[in-house]
Amino acid sequence: MFENEELRKWLLFVVLIVMTWGALQLNKTVFGLMRRKKNELKTEFFKRFNVAVILIVAVILGFWIFGALGQLWKTLLGGTAVITAVLAFTAQDIIKDILAGFMISVYKPFEIGNRIELENGTVGIVKDITMRHVALSLLDNTVCVIPNSKLNAMSVINYSYQQGLKAKQFSFHIAYNSDVRKAISVIREAIKSSSYTVPGIRKEYGMDYAPVYFMDFESSSLLLKTTVYYPPEVSTEVMTSDVNLRVDLALNENSIEIPYNFVNVVSRVPAEKENSGKLVRAGRPFVTEDMIVRADGTGMKEAVEKTEKFGKDCQLTGKEVLRLRLLSEEALTMMRSILQNSDAYYHIGRQKDTYYLHLKSHLNLDQEQRQQLLSVSSTGTNAAPMGLMAKISWMIRTTQYDKSPAQASLMNLGLIKGPDAEGTLASWSLKEYKEQLNTNKEKNTEAAAALDELNRSIVSSIADDVSVKITRTSVDLIIKKTF
């Protein structure tokens, strides 16, 4: 009889273990399905809470099976006051964390996947919650574990509160002489152009991107701020880097200066020497304001003269200034031939020892001019344009109004890059073109002839690179020269 009783207890204990395992698996499956439907914080908390309850119940039933439940109860209640106090003191933090976790999961000041900032400046993405702590993923992929009781007592900034989107605030500084309205527009368009950002503000007509606000007059700059929204699956670091790169490029292209600390160095040389007393900013790029050059030549002389002055202000030698002037004359003359009734915007910029001559034009050919260009390009002839700049001019005009850039090859300008997702029809680089000709000159007489013609070009012999970017409505021409 004793042996049968012992066997019965062990069989019940085995059944208890199986049932406990089954309950744990059922809990995991049920809450896993709930988590798929909605990534809720309380789902994760109560999943773990149920696990604790199941294990506690299993332990109590185990003592009951072996008839030791009464003894356990007597031990817990009949212990000395000192033991009871020690147990109560030890469990105090655990109980506080469990209750705080319960409060967090019910009132949900944040959700899993939200980006939050704590009182001490710690910023991270909520990855997990247990009965005792919340796990935050930080910038360098380390994990910060914070007890629920401490987090529940903190003030928390939630950048994604009840949106399902993550959000981050950006600050941008511009110079005091900048056009603030233009800067706001440029920054907003740069943010919208990023494939990682999404509209996050509800408007009457639907969702829209957050506005850029002019926040403050600081000691050496104007402060602009905005909030950028992005999907939960996108890494904060990836989105931040992409937005900063796009805004930096957009501000530079629009001649909007980003202030920085620099040192003015005054070179004390005799008054009769060239470039005496000029102050030059080093490091970050600095550029001239946009100059307008019209098809009838208005503004061209002023642009060439400002290019020459820019070179002198940068303390270039007389020979180097002359080279900049020649490059600007060639570029402006070529652009005039394709402007028709439009204006071109020209500026020159410098970054360290490299100079950039940038021409941007919005082309607007009438129907008759367009048909003339298309008829020539479709026949495979190109009126034999001579010289590098003439060929670039022809490439720009025909590519803009032909669906295929194939005519560029007919002019020995090499294969140019075709359309991309940003609306660029074609782009071309002198540097890549030279490399292609040098590679093929030994086995291709046309390549050798094209290289010989290229070497006689003023621009080719002086410039380090010429890049052309063509869209349906505009063209960008950038000449690069390093001294």
Residue 95 neighbours by CB distance under 10 Å = 11
- Report the chain's C-alpha Rg in angstroms: 35
Task: Enter the DSSP assignment of 116.
Answer: E
User: Residue 466, CB half-sphere, CA atoms under 13 Å: how many?
Assistant: 24
Average of per-residue pLDDT across 450-458? 74
Q: Per mean pLDDT, which range of 128-137, 260-269, 317-326 is the poorest?
A: 260-269
Sequence-ordered list of residues with C-beta below 8 angstroms from that of 344, at least 6 positions apart, any chain: 292, 293, 294, 332, 335, 336, 359, 360, 361
Q: What is the DSSP string of 159-225?
A: TTTTTSSEEEEEEEEE-TTS-HHHHHHHHHHHHHH-TT-B--EEETTEEEPPPPEEEEE-SSSEEEE
- Whether 137 and 152 have beta carbons less than 8 Å apart is answered as no
The CATH code of the domain that includes 237 is 3.30.70.100
Tell whether 260 is covered by a domain.
Answer: no
Strands (E) across 241-290 are located at 286-287
**Alpha carbons 393 and 399: distance in angstroms, whole number:** 10
Tell whether 428 is covered by a domain.
Answer: yes
pLDDT at 266 over 70: no
pLDDT at 381 over 70: no
Q: Quick one: angle between helices 318-339 and 388-401, nearest 10?
A: 40
| 320 shares a domain with 224 | no
Average of per-residue pLDDT across 390-400? 67
The CATH code of the domain that includes 385 is 3.30.565.10
By CB atoms closer than 10 A (0-12, 13-18, 19+), residue 277 is: exposed
5-15 tens-digit pLDDT: 777 778 888 88
Q: Could you give the number of structural domains in the chain?
A: 3
Tell whether 151 is covered by a domain.
Answer: no
Tell whether 403 is covered by a domain.
Answer: yes
Percent of the chain whose predicted confidence (pLDDT) is above 90: 10
Task: Enter the DSSP assignment of 289.
Answer: P
- Say what the pLDDT of residue 13 is: 81
- Say what the pLDDT of residue 468 is: 80
| 343 shares a domain with 476 | yes
Tell whether 223 is covered by a domain.
Answer: yes
442: containing domain: 288-483
| 210 shares a domain with 319 | no
3-state SS, residue 156: coil
24-39 tens-digit pLDDT: 888 778 877 766 555 5
Average of per-residue pLDDT across 430-449? 79
Please state the separation of Cα 247 from the chain's center in Å: 8
Tell whether 103 is covered by a domain.
Answer: no
162-220 tens-digit pLDDT: 666 778 889 999 998 889 999 999 999 999 999 999 988 877 777 889 899 999 898 88
Residue reference for tokens 């003339």: 372
Question: Average pLDDT, whole number, for the chain?
Answer: 76
Q: Per mean pLDDT, which range of 6-10, 26-30, 40-44, 359-363 is the poorest?
A: 40-44
Domain boundary at 253, 273, 303, which? Answer: 253
Joined together, the tokens standing for residue 322 give 């002359």
For residue 378, which of 408, 412, 394, 402 has the smallest C-alpha distance? 402
414-432 tens-digit pLDDT: 656 666 655 677 777 888 8
- Say what the pLDDT of residue 407 is: 45
- Say what the pLDDT of residue 83 is: 59
Domain boundary at 205, 235, 253, which? Answer: 253
- What's at 453, amino acid-wise? E
User: What pTM was estimated for this model as a whole?
Assistant: 0.40
Which helix (H) or strand (E) is 103 found in, with range? helix 81-107
| 477 shares a domain with 333 | yes
| 454 shares a domain with 317 | yes
| 350 shares a domain with 432 | yes
Tell whether 238 is covered by a domain.
Answer: yes
46-98 tens-digit pLDDT: 777 888 888 888 888 887 877 776 666 666 555 555 556 665 666 678 888 88
| 249 shares a domain with 315 | no
**Alpha carbons 148 and 96: distance in angstroms, whole number:** 8
Tell whether 100 is covered by a domain.
Answer: no
| 57 shares a domain with 13 | yes
